Every structure is written in structure tokens, then in C-alpha cells.
Structure 1
């Protein structure tokens, strides 16, 4: 038995022994993830899946295989359906056949990593689809998200796969970008909390759990700043400096590292002229040098091939990416030429060894050398469990944001008796699932129309008319919708957007839908589907105006993957509820809220603009010291970050601030306008730098007659710190559930992580400054205030 085969040896010793035995070609094979997984097998509609000849040739070429992407992916791009894909019940058995072939037909018997898409649940046949990230961010409940992603990890690992590619790092600064749905928030603190929760949920809270049968290694994407793409163009350049990068776009990645993330995926975009896949500053300087990260960095799909404009040829592109810090490829051709690049001394074999070492280490940490085969009996026990379905439903419930509710129109309760459900998103399941969605089994999921009918009180009559499409300019369906509304007591208009792909669309090598006139007509969001105008598409606004003219009250339910401009419909709707893409349980959740069986508790994770011409509109822009309205529009968003109504009312008491060790001496309570200097809490900046903390406390009560949940938000507004600061910065939040009349004290701790800044020397340090502490229900409402002075 060799050292690398001996389970009694340390992982480090086993890795070094194995690298010492490898040829250059075998090393190159371990850093390549060249195949699309659906090309690794063949299956007729009648037969069982078989390993393809292309797969066998690739194993032979590399003396093994580093990783295989998307073996279970089933969607219009892959072309995989229930008729042609790997049956769920057979998935672990087929993976074992594949793994056995790799280990038995290569000299060293190194197992292969199987990586799978998991932006919002596993993108596989029968995989549980969760609400998209923008919806999850609206819950302001990272703990709930962590439990959901733990279930997704168990599903992936039960099939025999190992890596989950999880969207978590993009910040929603550019809502025209089609991938905004993959962002948790426009705010780095809120997004970072979710990132950490998802990593912990999928990998476990303790080191060494990756080998467990229900854990999956997380590859966080995308590093970094892709959500600030210029003009909203996917993979467009990001014109920001180092301070913006560190303040806004890296906190989530750092939170993921601290939670133990196994890897990162580099982003397509460039930052200040340097593509992320070629950025030594980002991948080696920050990630490995400053943070001490020792996991893997994966390329995005065909991204290394895109470096040819910098490097001139494929070996040069491969050398550039490897030298910058990329460890493993994704589909590109360039990394397959690394042997040539090393022999031509364009990159050293020592650098290649570092990448191979990290890939092999992860394989050992996952237990693949000692337990390479999946338990074939676990698959059907782990896929689609009732427990995960219940968590998924709760995510959908908490993600819905009530924006408007004039005269208490909602909840509908036992009245009215005749309801018109109208709109292009009322009865299309795929429209509420988002991008990166697998083929759904017939009968799965619940649309809003189905949810309304199932939740309706006995004796309620529901009539339905689509009215129009999402993007189509065909208005011929509007008269039918008007007729339905005229006979109803209330009209529920289910509007918004769609990321639903279809099998007739054309895709590029990266899976982006190539949108052209007439194909596909209803898709206005998702990867590669960017917008210049954010108003609702097609004739949806015309539909709303026509229904308004009937005099029937309107409840607008928005199914969408980005913050659409709602200025064109808001004046005509008595109630507005944003459901985002709520997933397969979304129809049930939204109907429960409309009828009052669930009290909405979602809060906006992004600001909703009045116009696309107003962008950027995110709340934490730099404070220039004066208002800056447009001549033709207010400066404020239509609805602010953190906003969301409830069916009950919450009241805030005065804010109190004190040093944590001084709690016995009593707090300094303040309310109303910012405190004067003499009443501010004064604390040496050096004490915070050394580990001290201050605490902010506020009492919150339910002043209504219905139980509900409130998300209490703490912002700071800092000045006099040597650099320009942001108007507001979210630093803490807590979601509390309160019965009618119940009150609770909410406490927040602020330490170096919350109070330090990247100063003029680009050092993260606590600087003397004045800090206004603001507690409230959203970024535009200061319910209680206090002041802190760092001296």
C-alpha cells in the first residue's frame, strides 16, 4: 500500500506522496473540468444511461479527470429531460459506475469530483428548487436559509455528487443585470450573513464534516463585483476602485471564507482593466495572502478562453490564469494546453503543483479516496423530503414583501366571494421558479392561481384570464380580463417578469440564452438577459390601467427576478405584494398571505427605483453632504431598502447605547433627533480596535391585533473619519416574532468588524469619528437614534 492509499496517514502526507508519483499530463488532468456532464452519458428513451465514448476518451487523455460538471443538470441548455436524463432512483448507482471506471482505468486511481449547480437548490431532475436568492434575501432570515441549503446539500450528496456551485457573492447594484435574481441584496452586510449561513448549512458548522454523507463542499460565486457591471451588461467591466471593492463586494466572500467555504469561482468581469481570472491581486493577494484561504479557485465557464485577447493564444491564457490563482477550469479549451505551457516555460510546474495540491486536498477532505462510492439506498430517502418541503414553503412565505395596503384591502379573509385572478404570471409555474431551473415533473409545484383556488374559503368563485404576456405587445386578451374584473369584487393581478427558458431557444457555449426578436417571448430576466428599461414588459401597464377603469379594487402580486420600476402601476393598485421568484411552493405561500392565513414579514433586500434613469438607486451611496435631486424626479427610490408592511403595527421605544462592560452602570437613552455632543457615548477608537464593543438596545412592541414578525434594523451614519462615508450603512438586524401586545428588547453589538473602515492607507482600522446610530423598520425611517463618538 502506498502512502496516499493509507487512510492512517495525514491528508498532507497523502497529497504530497501522490503528487510525487504524477506525470505532467496527469497533473494537467486534475486541474481540468472540460466536459459538460450531460455529454458523459448516453441514454435512449427506453434504455438505461451508459458512459459515453467521449467521457472515456477524456479520462484516457488526462490519465484521470479532475472534475466533471453538471452530470445531473436537466434544462433547456443541456437538453436533458425525464426521457433522456439519469433517473433519480438510479443516480447514485450510475455515479458509482462512473467513479469505478475512472479509478479502474487510470494508473493512479484518483477519483473524480462531481460539481453541480445549486444557485437556489440542485438543478437536477426532482431536485428541490428554492426561491431565488433575491427572494431569500427578502426573508432577512439567514438561519432559515441555512436549513434550506442543508437540505439541498443532502440531496446533492445522496446522488453521489460533491461540489455545489452556489451564487452568493454578487451584490445587486445594477438591477438591469439579468442575474440580479442571484443576489441576496444590494447591501454587503445582509448578503454576507446569508453567505455564511449557506456555507455552514451545506458544509457543516465544524471542520472536517465534508466527508459526511449529507454534506457538500461549497464553491461560492462570483469573485468579485459582477453585480456592478457597467450598463447592466452581463460580464461587463466594473469601473470601481479598491475601496469600493473592499467595502461592498468582498465582505460576503470574506464571510464565506470564515465559515469555511471549500472554494470560490472567479467572475467573468474585469475590475479596473484586469479580468478577475487574471487578477493576482484578487486571487493570490487578497484571497490567499490576506485571508489565508487554502481551498480551490474554479474558473467560470469558458472564462479562461476569454483571456486570449490578453495572452495571444491558449497556452498563454492558461498560464496567465494559473499564475493568477485559478486552480481548475470549467469547459474551456485553454487549460487543456497547460502541458504545452509548462514545457514552454510560460508557467512553472511548481505553480501547477500548487493547484493540483489544492484539488487533491479537497478530494481527500471529501473522503473520496477512502469511500469513493455513494450509498445507493440513500437517494430516494433524501430527495424531496417533507421536512425540506416545509422549510421551502416557509422561505416562500417570509420572502413576500407587502408594499402597499390601502384601507386594509388585504387580507381578503372570508370576503369577497367573487375574485378575478388575472395576469401573465398567474398560472405559469416556470415563471415563478427563476433561472437555473431544472425540468419539473408534471403536477409539481403550485401556481398563484392554483394556490388561490386551494386556499379560498368555501363558496368563493374564482375566475381567471391571462390578459397578456410578460413581454408580448399583443393586447387582444385585455377585454376578456376586463370582463372578468367587472364581475368581481376584487381583482388579483399577477404581473412581473420571467426567467423561464424554453427548449426552442438558442444558447451559447456558456448556456446564456441568445435573445433576439421573437425568441423566447416571455423571458426578460436570467443569465444573459439584461434590460435597458425596468418598467413592466409588454402591455402589462396597459392591462392594469384597463382593470383600474372598471372600479374593481386591485391587488397586484409581482413575480419577478429583479426590482422592476412600479411607478406605472402603483397609482392604480390598492395593494401590492412582491413575491419575487418564490419557487414551487410560492403559489401556496402567496395565496396564504392574500387570504390572511400568513402575516407577511418580508423586507426589501434592494431599493425599488422610480425609473431606470434614476440608477444607481441603492441606499448606501456616498454621502456628498447635500441633496441631489433630479429636475424631473425625486432622488429617493419608490420604495426604500428594508421596507415591508405587515398586517399588524410595530412600535419602537428609545434607543440606548453603552459599552458592553459598562452595562451595570446603565445605558445612555436617546430618541428623536441626533444627540448633542455632551449626551453622546464617547469611546476611544483604540479600545474598539483592541476588542471592546458597544451595545445598542431598543424596545420593540406589537401594537396591533395580529401576531407578526418585525425585522429591526440598525444603521450607522458616520462622518469626520478622514474619508467620505456612505449615507447609511446597515450593521445589524434581528427578526423578532411578537404576539399582539407583546414587547421585547432587541440588542445589537458593534465591534471592530462593524465600526472599522478602510482608511486612507487602505488599512482596515477603527478611526476617530462621529457615528449616528439609527434603529428602525427600514432605511428611510429613523424610529430611534443615539450617538457614538470614537475619539
Structure 2
């Protein structure tokens, strides 16, 4: 007789209850963790061992075959752990799944997860642009398409959970993980996150997106990885929790991951209020919570709030965690934790029920295997979307008229990032994330700016000189895994200070009509690069001797076009007004070279708008446009502020804004604000404009930011054409968090600012909101809308 839990026609809740009743405690514990294995298609699987074992404090464990007989909740990165052909990797994963499904007592399949923030972390998968590029498009539907394509590649390899997107709100660009964020505005981060989640999970919801890093990870002390976060709940809720709330309530994200840090002395992996009270009970989240890699063991290893692994496991699982990743460093002590009274079997049953519910929902019991003939990576459609994202994210900061290039000029392409495929990739791209010394053979699908410019302008018109190195030899990893370095050698900077290549670059520049200077940084985990996870900085000067290179190039008198790639904005140290043009390309992925060449030559328009401000100096940090009035100090600090603010970006044309018209001068506190503005292309070329609506709360019962983005709309116009944009903003969106933790909206006057950036405000109107202070319900209105009517 077939067990009830194996009957796909029965309700999921009945199947879960039936299976749970059949499980031994050890089989339940096995569902509460992952295993990190190097899989083998012949079944000779082995555990992954490296520096992370020292980080997690792992000791000798029981034989893998014996442990697998109990089942396992997840398998960590089956294709993203080492260099393996996708077909062989899938075959090996199927071999492991066969063991779990056909050779264990209950036949519970494992869920395979992979990283997929910038494309599936797998050999030969499409290498997408970074999250900063995603945000810079200001095009949620494009990002939804990109995530959909990433999801399709992931599904085709058997991945059922992607550890993305990142919802951290950028506050200090010195932080190495700035490249993983959608930018510095919490609402825009939420909008982009919802688009990404909806695209990745798809209409069927047969894959889980994972919201991370919950929460406030990006506002760490000194912008240092893992450092404490100093925030009260009001600011935490208004800025950092908002994107998570949006993605949970509107996009129905299937999973969430806590962060490594502590907030007000409470580590994220043991925070019952955030993981259970707020997330599950108040927001209604019904997915699974998975640990950040090693995050549970940090409770005793680094935070010092528990005595040992068993207590750390109990703290995390009691707080709301469902699955320990990447393996069972602490979960393997759950029997001991139960015996010591640290966690109850009732709590274990509650957790395992959630894990099993997700597996049933995903259809794993009915379809545990992956068709190795169905793997589809690097399709033409997927590559095109990656190129579209790269192209539409390129942001022009300066242009004295030299761009787009015209005719057939002699071009000097100079700089350390001009012909380095790794320079176009962010830290969670496959070739970068593995931290292998030489991964160039894994970047053959990447087109560099030099290669693309040679193709478009002709080999005979392009000369190249590297000019300098950023890092001469990419080495594997820092000597210390993230955390305390006491008693161990400190990491020495790998950045090159060698200036010997600069004279050759100057010579090449002097023999050319225009110089394309490609500069920036190199992503690399834990100080193996200049940006990325664990690669934080204390300066916003270009790494190494790139500034000296730029100064030497400008001194030639030739027009210098700066193309900056990387994961954070850098200053040009006074060269901003002396270069001919400056374009921010971020980490545009494998198609980035084509995108850069297309914009430089005028085949495409620079459509990007900044989603992180470019601070005047590191001394301005933390800096973000939506700061409070007193953030600049008193008197206003000369070094505070940004030359290139949030929302800024030039085009090939110019746009004229009409005076905004408030269609609803007075609005009830439960109503909608309606605003209309006319925009006209007054230039000679077609172009895109991103019309932005900011709100300032003139008087509130608590301190509010100087302005906050509440709506935006991209509009494309031909020369001389105009369009009328009608925005609808729910009054709900004017909320803030009161001291009792509730989101409220107060009556009063609010200034609506219509602009081309957060600093370029073209018109202002004031709306009066009437009524009594309103506490928002659980499902409040989080999105504004815009209707576009074209006219002559």
C-alpha cells in the first residue's frame, strides 16, 4: 500500500503530517541542514574541505554514506562548488538524489540550491551584470525578464532555490558588498527586488528566491564586513526592513536568509523578534529561513552568546531558522540540544514541517531528477537580455560633447580593465566567486571593451596599452576567513603600486586622437580583490596607481574618456572637470564590452541613472541622498555631499519639464495623490528620461529625511516630442515608523518634487493630507503608478 505522503493528489498539509509521523528524530534533524559535497557521477561523493572548515570549527564526522541514509534537507551548490561541466554535474546530482530517493527508508529528496545573483553560479552559465547595473536601469520589467532567464538556466540544472536577490540598502560605498545592492533608496530596492523575485520564481513558483541579508547588513560599523550595526527599530523598519516587507507581501518570496552581524547586540541568526514575530506573525511569511553560510556557528565562535554548537543550533532554530547552511556544523548536535532541554521536539516538528511543505510544493517528490539533456545555458535570448541590462545601465556622468564618437578616430584604449574579462564581473560571478588563481579559461564568453571597440572601429584604428595593473596575480583567498584575525598574519594588500607601464600608455595616447581610459576595480572575496564580500576599503581613490595613470593621460592634452567598471563609485580626485567624458559601467557582465562600445560609438544611448550617490570623498561617508537635514553637520561640512547624486545621468539629448500640476490638492488620509507633469525632448536626438518623484514631509512627529523617492517613470521621446505623465501615489506610502513599532501616516503638508535626479528638481507642489493619524493595516499600498500619454 502506497504511503499517504507519496500520493500527489492529497493536500500538502496531509502529506506533511503523514511523513512527519513516520520520521525518527535523527531523520528530522537531517532535514534541518545541508551538506556541502563535491559530487561524483559514479557516487563517490566527498565532503568539501577548505578554509571554511576552520571558520566553522568542523571536526571529524561520521562516514558520509552512513549520514546520507538519514536523508538531508539541502545540498549546497552542486554545480557551483567546483569547475564541472553542467551535464556531468547534473548526472552527479542525480546520482546523489537516487541514493536519497531510492536507497533510504523514507525516500525524501534533497533540495539543491545555488547562487544566482548575477546569473547561475555554474560553469558556462550566462554571466549577468551586477545588482548595481540592475538598479541603474530603473526598469523593473527588464530585471524581471533577466531574473526569469536566470531562473530558467537554474531550473535546467536542477536548482530549486537561488540565494538571491540581495535587499541590502546601500549606505556606505566603502562596504565591499555595495556591488550586490540595488542602490541606496529603500523603496527602489523593494521595487527591483519584487521584480527579481517574481522573475526568478516564475508563475508556477517552482523555484525559491532567497531574500538576503536580513537585515541592515549594509550599515555596518565602518562599512566593514560582519561588523555591528547601530540602529533603532524606527530607522531599521523605514529603511532596511521596507524592501523585505515588499518582497514578502507582494512578490511572495519563498525563502529568506539572516545576516552575520548583530544589531544592538543581538545577532541576526538568533533574533526571534525579526525572524518570527515580525517576519512570520506580522508579515505572514510562509517560506523557509536558511542560514547564511556558517552563520549559526558564529553565535559561539565570534559573537560569544552561546557556549557550543548545540546551544548555537538551539538559539537559531528557536528564533526561527529552518535550515542550516552550508552544512551541519551545529545541526549535527541537535540530539544533544534536545537532551539538554535547549530545544523541544515540538519545535523540531514545526521546523521540519515547513521544510517538507516547501519540498512538496516544489514537486520534488514527484520529479526528483533533472533531465541532463534539457540543460540550456547561454541561449541567444538569455545573452540578449544580459546585453540589454548592461547597455541600459551604463550611466554617463560627464561629457564635453566628445561622445558619441564620430567618424573613424584613432583611438587609444588604455587601462588595466580594458582587456581583463574578470574586470567586467562581480563577486558572485562563477569565475570570480571560486577564488581560483587563474580563471581566465572560464571567461571565454566575456567580451572586453578592447575586443568590442576593435570590432566596431576596426583593428587599424585602435591601439592598446595596459597602463598599470590593479592586481598583478590573482591569488586564492585571504589567509583568514571572515571573522577574527587575532593570532594570525594580517592580510597584505594585493594591489599593485607599479608605475612602470604608464610611459608606454602615454606614448600610445599621444599617437591617437582620443583616449578611452578603462579603470576601476576587481571583484574578489575576502581581500583577494578590491571590492566584493570581505573586500572593504578605506578610500574612494581608484585602487593602485590608476589615478596617476589618468593624470598622465590627461596631461597629454588628448581628450580622455573615462570608462569606470567595478562595484563601487570612485572619485577622480579633481579630474572630473578635466576629462572629456566619464561613464560609469559598474560590472556589466559577459556582454559588457559590447554595451560599452555601443554607447561610446552612439549605437546605443546611455540610459542609466545612478542608484548610489558618488560621494565627494571617503570623509563624506556614510552618505546617501535621503539623509536627514542635520546629517551634514553644523556648520554644513565642506566635504559632505555628492557631485553626482542619486538619480543622476546624462543622455544624448535634453529634456524640458513643464510645471507639475497637482490634480488632488487635498487628499484624505486613506486616499491617493495624483500629479501630472509634461516632459519634452528639446534636443536633436531621440532619448530616454527617467522622471522621478520625491516627497518631503514638511512637519512630522519624528525626524524625517530631506526627501524620499516615491515614484518614477522611464519615458522615450523623439526630438521635439513630448509626453504627459500622470502619477498616482497612495497616501499609505507617506508612512513612517512610530516609537511603538507601527507604521503610521499623519495628516499635514507634503512637498512633491519632480526632478531628473534627487538634486535636479524641476518643479514642486504641496499636497494637504487630511484626517486623523492612521495606523497602516498589514496589507498597505506599497506601489505608485504612472500613466504615459504621448502628445505632439
TM score, norm. by length of structure 1? 0.88
Any unmatched runs of 5+ in structure 2?
49-61, 432-440, 471-494, 771-792
Aligned-pair CA distance for 1:443: 2.9
Correspondences of 1:624-703 after superposition (within 5 Å): 624=630, 628=634, 633-659=638-664, 681-685=665-669, 688=670, 692-703=671-682
Q: Which of 394, 400, 407 is the aligned partner of 2:394?
A: 400
Q: Which of 564, 572, 579 is the aligned partner of 1:566?
A: 572
Aligned-pair CA distance for 1:415: 4.0
Is residue 92–residue 158 contact of structure 1 (8 Å, CA) maintained in 2? no
Match for residue 110 of structure 1?
108
Hey, what's the Cα distance between the residues in 2 that align with 1:2 and 1:427? 59
Aligned-pair CA distance for 1:568: 4.2
Any unmatched runs of 5+ in structure 1?
42-47, 502-511, 660-680
Match for residue 352 of structure 1?
348
Hey, what's the Cα distance between the residues in 1 that align with 2:716 and 2:334? 56
Q: Which of 214, 227, 246 is the aligned partner of 2:237?
A: 246
1:321 aligns to 2:316 (yes or no): yes
Q: Which of 361, 368, 372 is the aligned partner of 1:376?
A: 372
Residues 656 and 332 (structure 1), Cα distance of their counterparts in 2 relative to 1, 3 Å cut: farther
Larger deviation: 8-17 or 703-712?
Answer: 703-712
Q: CA RMSD in A?
A: 1.7
Hey, what's the Cα distance between the residues in 1 that align with 2:367 and 2:328? 30
Describe the superposition over 1:457-484 as per-residue Cα deviations: whole angstroms up to 9, x where unpaired: x585111001111231100000000001
Match for residue 389 of structure 1?
383
Match for residue 464 of structure 2?
464
Is residue 629–residue 635 contact of structure 1 (8 Å, CA) maintained in 2? no
Q: Which of 124, 127, 131 is the aligned partner of 2:129?
A: 131
Hey, what's the Cα distance between the residues in 2 that align with 1:335 and 1:532? 37
Hey, what's the Cα distance between the residues in 1 that align with 2:168 and 2:11? 36
Aligned-pair CA distance for 1:768: 1.2
Hey, what's the Cα distance between the residues in 1 that align with 2:45 and 2:690? 52
Match for residue 40 of structure 1?
39
Is residue 616–residue 640 contact of structure 2 (8 Å, CA) maintained in 1? no
Hey, what's the Cα distance between the residues in 2 that align with 1:622 and 1:90? 54
Aligned-pair CA distance for 1:105: 2.1
Aligned-pair CA distance for 1:179: 0.8
Describe the superposition over 1:51-94 as per-residue Cα deviations: whole angstroms up to 9, x where unpaired: 31559944632610100111111xxxx5x23xxx2x22334333
Is residue 138–residue 401 contact of structure 1 (8 Å, CA) maintained in 2? yes
Hey, what's the Cα distance between the residues in 2 that align with 1:219 and 1:447? 31
Number of aligned residue pairs: give it. Answer: 717
Correspondences of 1:291-306 after superposition (within 5 Å): 291-306=283-298
Aligned-pair CA distance for 1:352: 1.2
Hey, what's the Cα distance between the residues in 2 that align with 1:337 and 1:569? 58
Hey, what's the Cα distance between the residues in 2 that align with 1:345 and 1:127? 46
1:617 aligns to 2:623 (yes or no): yes
1:776 aligns to 2:755 (yes or no): yes
Correspondences of 1:335-484 after superposition (within 5 Å): 335-379=331-375, 382-406=376-400, 408-416=401-409, 418-439=410-431, 441=442, 443-456=444-457, 461-470=461-470, 471-484=495-508
* DSSP-derived class of the 1:51 partner: coil
Hey, what's the Cα distance between the residues in 1 that align with 2:446 and 2:535? 25
Hey, what's the Cα distance between the residues in 2 that align with 1:292 and 1:96? 34
Is residue 179–residue 567 contact of structure 2 (8 Å, CA) maintained in 1? yes
1:605 aligns to 2:605 (yes or no): no
Match for residue 672 of structure 1?
none
* DSSP-derived class of the 2:644 partner: coil
Hey, what's the Cα distance between the residues in 2 that align with 1:386 and 1:459? 26
Aligned-pair CA distance for 1:627: 7.2
Aligned-pair CA distance for 1:624: 3.5
Match for residue 586 of structure 1?
592
Hey, what's the Cα distance between the residues in 2 that align with 1:546 and 1:99? 59
Match for residue 168 of structure 2?
170
Hey, what's the Cα distance between the residues in 1 that align with 2:229 and 2:639? 27
Is residue 43–residue 95 contact of structure 2 (8 Å, CA) maintained in 1? no
Aligned-pair CA distance for 1:610: 0.9
* DSSP-derived class of the 1:488 partner: coil
1:486 aligns to 2:491 (yes or no): no
Larger deviation: 756-765 or 153-162?
Answer: 756-765
Hey, what's the Cα distance between the residues in 2 that align with 1:735 and 1:332? 47
Residues 459 and 262 (structure 1), Cα distance of their counterparts in 2 relative to 1, 3 Å cut: closer
Aligned-pair CA distance for 1:562: 0.9
Hey, what's the Cα distance between the residues in 2 that align with 1:410 and 1:708? 14
* DSSP-derived class of the 2:343 partner: coil
Describe the superposition over 1:540-563 as per-residue Cα deviations: whole angstroms up to 9, x where unpaired: 111111111110010000011012
* DSSP-derived class of the 2:642 partner: coil
Hey, what's the Cα distance between the residues in 2 that align with 1:696 and 1:92? 53
Describe the superposition over 1:206-233 as per-residue Cα deviations: whole angstroms up to 9, x where unpaired: xxx134xxxx211121111101111011
Match for residue 198 of structure 1?
196
Residues 321 and 445 (structure 1), Cα distance of their counterparts in 2 relative to 1, 3 Å cut: same
Match for residue 24 of structure 2?
23
Match for residue 51 of structure 1?
44
* DSSP-derived class of the 2:709 partner: strand
Hey, what's the Cα distance between the residues in 2 that align with 1:618 and 1:482? 37
Is residue 313–residue 334 contact of structure 2 (8 Å, CA) maintained in 1? yes
Hey, what's the Cα distance between the residues in 1 that align with 2:416 and 2:317? 47
Is residue 567–residue 638 contact of structure 1 (8 Å, CA) maintained in 2? no
Hey, what's the Cα distance between the residues in 1 that align with 2:634 and 2:462? 47
Is residue 422–residue 443 contact of structure 2 (8 Å, CA) maintained in 1? no
Aligned-pair CA distance for 1:332: 5.0
Match for residue 673 of structure 1?
none
Residues 49 and 474 (structure 1), Cα distance of their counterparts in 2 relative to 1, 3 Å cut: farther
Q: Which of 63, 72, 76 is the aligned partner of 1:69?
A: 76
Is residue 152–residue 202 contact of structure 1 (8 Å, CA) maintained in 2? yes
* DSSP-derived class of the 2:387 partner: helix
Hey, what's the Cα distance between the residues in 2 that align with 1:343 and 1:529? 41
Hey, what's the Cα distance between the residues in 2 that align with 1:350 and 1:58? 28
TM score, norm. by length of structure 2? 0.88
1:727 aligns to 2:706 (yes or no): yes
Hey, what's the Cα distance between the residues in 1 that align with 2:511 and 2:503? 13
